[in-house]
Chains A and B, each alone.
Chain A
Amino acid sequence: MDYLAIQILNGVQLGLLMFLLAAGLTLTFGIMDLVNLAHGSLYMMGAYFAWTLIGWTDSFVLGALLTLPAALALGAVVEAVVIRRLYARDHLDQVLATFGLILFFNELVRVIWGPAGKSIALPAFLSGTVEILPGLPYPAYRFAIIVVGGVVALLLAWMVQRTRTGMLIRAGASNRRMIGALGVDINLLFTLVFGLGAVFAALAGLMAAPILSVKIGMGDDILILAFVIIVIGGIGSIKGAFIAAMVVGQIDIFGRAFLPDLLKTFLSNAAASTAAPAISQVLIYLVMAGVLVWRPTGLFGPRT
Chain B
Amino acid sequence: MIQALRTRRGLVVIALAALAIALPLLTQAFDQRYLLSIGTRVVIWSIAAASLNLILGYGGMVSFGHAVFFGIGGYAVGILGHHGVVLGWVQWPVGVLAAALWAAAIGALSLRTRGVYFIMITLAFSQLVYYVGVGLEAYGADDGLNISRSRFPGLIDLRDRAAFYWLCLALLGLVLWFSARFANSHFGFVLRGAKSNDVRMASLGFPVFRYRLAAFTISGALGGLSGVLLANHDAYISPAMMSWVKSGDLIVIVVLGGMGTVFGPVWGTVAFFVLEESLKPVIDLFRKGWGEYWQIVFGPILILIALYAKGGIDSLLGGRRDGGGGHG
Indicate whether A and B interact: yes
Q: Does B114 make an interface contact (CB < 8 A)?
A: yes
Choice from A95, A104, A220, A227 contacting B62 with Cβ under 8 Å? A95
Give every chain B residue within 8 A of A228 (Cβ-Cβ). Answer: 120, 124
Closest to A92 in B: B62
Partner pick for B252 among A91, A99, A104, A279, CB 8 A cutoff = A99
CB of B62 within 8 A of CB of A91, answer yes
Question: Which residues of chain A have C-beta atoms less than 8 A from B299's C-beta?
Answer: 100-105, 107
How far is A30 from B66 in the complex, measured between Cα atoms in Å? 26
Q: How far is the CA of A86 from the CA of B113 in the complex (A)?
A: 23
Bound CA–CA A109/B50 (angstroms)? 34
User: What is the CB-to-nearest-CB distance from B159 to chain A, in angstroms, rounded to a whole number?
Assistant: 31
Taking the complex as formed, is B244 at the interface, i.e. its CB lies under 8 A from any CB of chain A?
Answer: yes
Complex CA distance for A51 and B136, rounded to whole angstroms: 36
Is B109 interfacial (CB 8 A cutoff)?
A: yes
The stretch that binds B, out of A4-12, A116-124, A184-192, A292-300, is A292-300
Mark out the residues of chain B between 168 and 226 whose CB falls within 8 Å of any chain A CB in the assembled complex.
Answer: none
Q: In the assembled complex, which residues on chain B have CB atoms less than 8 Å from the CB atom of A270?
A: 137
Q: Does residue B306 face the partner (Cβ distance < 8 Å to A)?
A: yes
Indicate whether A286 reaches chain B with its CB closer than 8 angstroms: yes
Question: Hey, which chain B residues are within 8 Å of A298, CB to CB?
Answer: 117
Nearest chain A CB to B248's CB is how many angstroms away? 5
Interface size class on chain A is 35 or more
Contact assessment for A95 and B119 in the assembled complex, using a CB-CB cutoff below 8 Å: yes
Set of chain A residues within 8 Å of B293, measured between Cβ atoms: 107, 110-111
**Cβ < 8 Å to A, chain B residues 258-301:** 293-296, 298-301
Cβ-based interface call for A97 (8 A): yes
Contact present for A286 and B128 (CB under 8 Å): yes
- Most chain B beta-carbon neighbours within 10 Å: one of A99, A108, A298: A99
Please name all residues of chain A whose beta carbon is closer than 8 Å to the beta carbon of B77 when the two chains form the complex. none
* Cβ contact within 8 Å between A274 and B137: yes
Does B113 lie within 8 Å of A96, measured CB to CB?
A: no
Q: B134–A292 contact, CB under 8 A?
A: no
B255 within 8 Å of A (CB atoms): yes
**Residue in A closest to B62 when the chains form the complex, CB atoms:** A92
Report the separation of the CA atoms of residues A288 and B122 in the bound assembly, to the nearest whole angstrom: 11
Minimum CB–CB distance from B260 to chain A (whole Å) comes to 12
Please determine whether A293 and B112 come into contact, CB atoms closer than 8 angstroms: yes
- Name the one of A91, A101, A227 contacting B123, with C-beta atoms under 8 angstroms: A227
For chain B residues 90-148, which have a beta carbon within 8 Å of chain A? Answer: 109, 112-117, 119-121, 123-125, 127-128, 131-132, 134-138, 141
Cβ contacts under 8 Å, A268 to chain B: 137
B2 interfacial contact with A, CB 8 Å = no
Instruction: Assess whether B303 is interfacial by the CB under 8 Å rule.
Output: yes
Cβ of A289 under 8 Å from chain B:
yes
Number of A-B contacts (CB under 8 A): 148
> Which chain A residues numbered 75 to 110 have a C-beta less than 8 Å away from chain B?
82, 85-86, 89, 91-97, 99-108, 110
Q: Are B125 and A285 in contact, with the CB atoms below 8 A?
A: yes
Q: Are A111 and B296 in contact (CB under 8 A)?
A: yes
Q: Which residue of A lies closest to B294 (CB)?
A: A107
State the majority secondary structure of interface residues on A. Answer: helix
Q: Assess whether A52 is interfacial by the CB under 8 Å rule.
A: no
Residues of B within 8 A of A92 (CB): 56, 62, 251, 255
B132 x A288 contact (CB < 8 A):
no
CB-nearest residue of chain B to A217: B245
In Å, the complex CA distance between A278 and B137 comes to 11
Establish whether residues A289 and B124, one from each chain, have CB atoms under 8 Å apart when the complex forms: yes
Pair B296/A275 contact, Cβ less than 8 Å: no
From 50 to 71 in chain A, residues with beta carbon under 8 angstroms from any chain B beta carbon are none
Tally of contact residues, B, Cβ under 8 A: 45
Return the CB mask of B236-264 against A: 1 if under 8 Å, else 0: 00000000110010011001000000000
B12 is an interface residue with CB less than 8 A from chain A:
no
Report the bound CA distance from A293 to B117 in whole Å: 11
- The interface residues of chain B lying within 8 Å CB-to-CB of A292 are 109, 112-113, 117, 121
Q: Considering the chains assembled together, what is the distance between the CA atoms of A224 and B56 in angstroms?
A: 21
Min C-beta distance of B90 to chain A, whole Å? 27
Q: Does A262 make an interface contact (CB < 8 A)? A: no
Tell me which of B64, B109, B124, B136 has the highest count of chain A C-beta atoms within 10 A of its own C-beta: B124
Residue A271 at the chain B interface, CB threshold 8 Å? yes
Whether A231 pairs with B127 at a CB distance below 8 angstroms is: no
Q: Say how far B304's CB is from chain A's closest CB, in angstroms.
A: 8
- Bound together, the chains give a CA A294 to CA B113 distance in angstroms of 11
Distance between Cα atoms of A100 and B136 in the complex (Å): 31
- B-contact 0/1 string along A266-292, CB 8 Å cutoff: 001011001111110110011011001
Chain B residue with Cβ nearest A285:
B128
> Are A289 and B121 CB-contacts (below 8 A) given A91-B115, A104-B296?
yes
B18 cross-chain contacts in A, Cβ below 8 A = none
B302 part of interface (Cβ distance < 8 Å): yes
Residue of A whose beta carbon sits closest to that of B134: A278
Give CA–CA (A96, B300) in the complex, Å.
Answer: 10
CA distance A286 to B306 in the complex (A): 32
Q: Is the CB of B119 within 8 A of A96?
A: no
CB pair B132–A282 under 8 Å, yes or no, is: yes
* A-B contact sample (17 more), CB < 8 A, given A95-B64, A104-B299, A231-B117: A29-B116, A86-B306, A93-B307, A97-B302, A103-B296, A104-B300, A111-B293, A235-B117, A274-B135, A276-B135, A279-B131, A281-B127, A282-B131, A285-B124, A285-B125, A289-B128, A292-B113
21 residue pairs bridging A and B, Cβ less than 8 Å apart: A35-B116, A92-B251, A92-B255, A95-B119, A96-B252, A96-B303, A96-B306, A97-B302, A97-B307, A99-B302, A100-B299, A100-B300, A103-B299, A104-B303, A107-B299, A224-B127, A231-B116, A231-B120, A278-B135, A289-B128, A292-B112
Smallest CB-CB A-B distances: 8 pairs:
A278-B135, A100-B302, A104-B299, A103-B299, A96-B306, A97-B306, A107-B296, A285-B128
